[in-house]
Amino acid sequence: MKRFAPLFLALALISGVAQAATLEQASALLDAGHLTQADHALAQVLADQPHSASAHYLEARLLAVEGKWPLAEKELELAKRLDPTLSFAPAAQSQALANEVLKHQWKNPAGFAGYGQAALAALFVLISGYLVVGVVRNKRRPGGQV
């Protein structure tokens, strides 16, 4: 019966039997792997408690499980701003989450898109400048043709 508890909890949240989701319910859903239900419960918790460090930390955990690393990083940073010690979370768990977020920060191709675009823009400017200088030099030479 215990293994069906998250399922019953999810059904209660969906059907509206539970008036307000709690952080504990959202955590239980996340731990059980019911990501969609955990997301809905967390949205409700965050709407009720927007300044809850533990709610933002749990949201960071959920986003990390979903592979949404930039969003997980933002939520983890917000949780740390609200409670710098993350006193509500086990130290090993919070450190592991921070390490995973940091590891994926450098693997995120979207994070490097700006650098690639900037490099291409710089290359374009250099080539354009080289061509303009060549045209100007050619005009200054006697007998230069354009």
pLDDT tens for each residue of 99-145: 998 888 766 555 555 566 777 788 888 998 888 888 888 888 776 56
pLDDT tens-digit profile of 40-71?
999 999 999 999 999 999 999 999 999 998 99
Residue of 76, 90, 10 lying closest to 68 (CA atoms):
76
Mind listing the pLDDT tens digit for each residue in 89-101?
A: 999 999 999 999 8
Residues with Cβ within 8 Å of 60's Cβ and at least 6 positions away in sequence, in order, are 72, 73, 75, 76, 79, 97, 101
pLDDT at 7: 54
pLDDT on residue 9: 54
d(CA 52, CA 89): 13
Question: Would you place residue 17 in the very low, low, confident or very high pLDDT band (cuts 50, 70, 90)?
Answer: very low
The conformation of residue 85, written as its DSSP 8-state character, comes to T
Task: Using pLDDT thresholds of 50, 70 and 90, give the confidence band for residue 14.
Answer: low
* Closest alpha carbon to 72 in 51, 96, 90, 40: 96
d(CA 97, CA 111): 19
CB 55 within 8 A of CB 44: no
What pLDDT sits at residue 95? 93
